[in-house]
A and B are shown apart, each in its own frame.
Chain A
Amino acid sequence: MSKKIIKGKVFVLGDNIDTDQIIPAKYLNLVPTIPEEYKKLGSYALSGLPAEHKTSYIRNGGMETEYPIIIAGRNFGCGSSREHAPISLGAAGCEAVIASSFARIFFRNCISTGELYPIETATDIAGNFKTGDEAEITIEGADVHITSNGKKYTLKSLGDVLEVIDSGGIFTYARKAGMI
């Protein structure tokens, strides 16, 4: 079984981070399958966060984030079906979002695109982290956990979803399964 390690700084968010906050609608004129526009979407990731968020996900003028791990509360990615949302995060260099729950379409879009790992927690752990903390996620089959500041938190298994993301999305998975 392959073991995946995601290491880096965490970016901490609250509940109900909606798709307008992840990628504001004015940037939906960008088409994710056009390579330079895919990168541009990354530069706008989480640019719709209200002013009380003192730290920007992308440093002013930058194209990528220094935070490969997002830790949030409930209902992450609620709202629109815009695939631009997981894509903007993935294009910015986000590798995993940990949340106590995800909105359905966002979760599905993470899997279908293979852009990032949407990992659920049994309880809200966002309060135990602050933006900038160094952390390490380990995904090894059903064993998924994050360690930071010497503490280890068990995360929910990705189940069947892991294989789809690891294949690179729904197309590769469907080809492997003989569906297409």
Chain B
Amino acid sequence: MGMTITEYILAKASGRRRVDPGDNIWVSADILMTHDVCGPGTIGVFKREFGEKAKVWNKEGVVIIPDHYIFTADPKCHRNVDILRDFVKEQGLPHFYDPGTPSYAGVCHVALPENGHCRPGEVLFGTDSHTCTHGAFGEFATGIGNTDAGFVMGTGKLLIKVPASIKFEIDGTLLDGVMAKDVILKIIGDLGVDGATYCAMEFSGPAIDALSIDERMTICNMAIEAGGKNGIIAADKKTVDFVKAHTDKSFECFKSDKDAGYLKVYKYRAEDFRPCVALPFSPDKVFNASELKDRKIDRAYIGSCTGGKLEDFIAAAKILNGRKVKVDTFIIPSTVNVKRAMEKEKIDGKDLFTIFREAGCQEPGEPSCAACLGGPEDTYGRCNNKEVCISTTNRNFPGRMGSIDSQTILASPLTAAASALTGYVTDPCEFLK
């Protein structure tokens, strides 16, 4: 029997010719990414276990991207960034994106590929569950805790179980108004929030091939919301062109064999997807947006690793251009690069920020994770009361965006923007006619 792309990458990383689901193997990491929320704890574990004078296994392999609690007055959050700064200085780490300096990047999952840290065929561990995003570049990427990260930091290795793979084959062409977010929400709705627990979720087919890099990232980003260990899309010309434009490092592309073994294969027709939303309090409570016209919202939020990339804002701007929002609408570019690109991107001669301002959106937030996960109480866009927020983020658990009394409805940028215009959950097709 052949192997899947995930198995090929893990075989290479463990120095074996073949691995099978369930094998416990030591794999070598290419990249370990951490941020301000889990970095200090990871460094604490690293020093406790390897000693105060220990050095990281590979300076080039450690990437530190503070992004969670940056624009807050909370003194502990500032202390945490200082812990990262001291460590970077002590270790002489070259890949640090320091807040308040020109190197500051923003949300780690968007910043990693922008800065050339995502390469096909590699193994990327990150202290964040949405590390699965980077499977969009044909690599094995997964989230780990501080202790495992401390282990990787010292040894460059981690003991992992080879996941069984589930294949999602999407044939055909997505309809206007349907985005990658709708595809992954529908899949999560079908599988349930634990439907892919411990599994690799492999996405393929003409509809996936047709997606841009930004959109592929959205799909892989939410693999964790179905319990997946990693999401993955084999690299093609689009991937290789993107990666080569961001790094000079060499890499190897893998793809699944035709006779690879899958735990299950799901086949979808792209034309069957519709703009959809996930209602509180679970990402698998998925309904078509058109079925929920009476569902009132109080605010809209466009941002995060899932829905704060350039194409997400272009989609929202297409809907909001020349129209007025009826609810408070928050715009938070994921990274500084995305923010700059939004200043350059023009629709009808207007840049995206002009479109959002004219539509009556709130003053845009600074690039960061912001209110996607609530955060400290002074976080921009945080739901501090009983708000119902339609959001392009990834989770809608109780209290996820702040107050335990608030509610989050997950949607694509098109659907979030359309809903902002009406104050109710709205199918964006109504504005695309």
Please report the C-alpha to C-alpha distance between residue A80 and residue B399 in the assembled complex, in whole angstroms: 14
For window 48-96 of A, CB contacts with B under 8 Å fall at 48-51, 74-75, 78-84, 86
For window 1-48 of A, CB contacts with B under 8 Å fall at 16, 18, 20-21, 24-26, 28-34, 48
Q: Is A154 close to B, CB under 8 A?
A: no
Instruction: Say whether B41 contacts A50, CB under 8 Å.
Output: no
- A51 and B147 in contact, given A16-B282, A104-B198, A104-B229 (Cβ under 8 angstroms): no
Instruction: Say whether B144 contacts A31, CB under 8 Å.
Output: no
Q: Is B154 close to A, CB under 8 A?
A: yes
Instruction: Say whether A33 contacts B398, CB under 8 Å.
Output: no
**1/0 per position for B140-162, CB-CB distance to A under 8 A?**
00011111100100110101000
Q: Is B77 close to A, CB under 8 A?
A: yes
What residues of B have a CB within 8 angstroms of the CB of A160 in the complex? 24
Please report the C-alpha to C-alpha distance between residue A26 and residue B72 in the assembled complex, in whole angstroms: 11
- A34 and B143 in contact, given A20-B395, A29-B69, A104-B229 (Cβ under 8 angstroms): no
Stretch among B87-95, B112-120, B373-381 lining the A interface: B373-381
Instruction: Say whether A82 contacts B38, CB under 8 Å.
Output: yes
Please report the C-alpha to C-alpha distance between residue A11 and residue B144 in the assembled complex, in whole angstroms: 27
The 8 Å CB contact of A170, one of B43, B151, B282, B397, is B151
Interface of A is mostly: loop
Instruction: Say whether B194 contacts A83, CB under 8 Å.
Output: no
What residues of A have a CB within 8 angstroms of the CB of B6 in the complex? none
The 8 Å CB contact of A83, one of B48, B146, B157, is B146
Among A21, A24, A48, A84, the most chain B Cβ lie within 10 Å of the Cβ of: A24
**1/0 per position for B35-65, CB-CB distance to A under 8 A?**
0011011011100110000000000000000
Residue on B nearest A51 in the bound complex, by CB: B404
Instruction: Say whether B400 contacts A83, CB under 8 Å.
Output: no
What residues of B have a CB within 8 angstroms of the CB of A33 in the complex? 40-41, 43-45, 48, 146
What residues of B have a CB within 8 angstroms of the CB of A81 in the complex? 38, 126-129, 131, 143-145
Q: Is B197 close to A, CB under 8 A?
A: yes
Please report the C-alpha to C-alpha distance between residue A34 and residue B42 in the assembled complex, in whole angstroms: 11
Residue on B nearest A20 in the bound complex, by CB: B397
Stretch among A106-114, A129-137, A143-151 lining the B interface: A106-114
Please report the C-alpha to C-alpha distance between residue A66 and residue B41 in the assembled complex, in whole angstroms: 27
Q: Is B32 close to A, CB under 8 A?
A: no
The 8 Å CB contact of A179, one of B26, B131, B144, B397, is B26
Give, as a whole number of angstroms, the nearest-CB distance from A136 to chain B: 29
Q: Is B227 close to A, CB under 8 A?
A: yes
For window 277-326 of B, CB contacts with A under 8 Å fall at 281-282
Please report the C-alpha to C-alpha distance between residue A101 and residue B395 in the assembled complex, in whole angstroms: 20
- A79 and B129 in contact, given A18-B397, A29-B76, A103-B197 (Cβ under 8 angstroms): yes
Q: Is A105 close to B, CB under 8 A?
A: yes
Q: Is B193 close to A, CB under 8 A?
A: yes
Instruction: Say whether A26 contacts B40, CB under 8 Å.
Output: no
Q: Is B176 close to A, CB under 8 A?
A: no
Please report the C-alpha to C-alpha distance between residue A28 and residue B376 in the assembled complex, in whole angstroms: 9
Q: Which 9 A-B pairs have the closest CB atoms?
A: A33-B44, A83-B145, A81-B143, A109-B145, A29-B76, A75-B194, A81-B129, A112-B147, A25-B373
Q: List 9 A-B contacts (CB under 8 A).
A: A20-B399, A26-B376, A30-B76, A31-B80, A33-B41, A79-B397, A86-B145, A103-B197, A170-B151
8 further A-B contacts with Cβ under 8 Å, apart from A28-B69, A82-B145, A105-B224, are: A18-B397, A20-B398, A25-B373, A28-B37, A31-B41, A32-B44, A83-B146, A109-B147
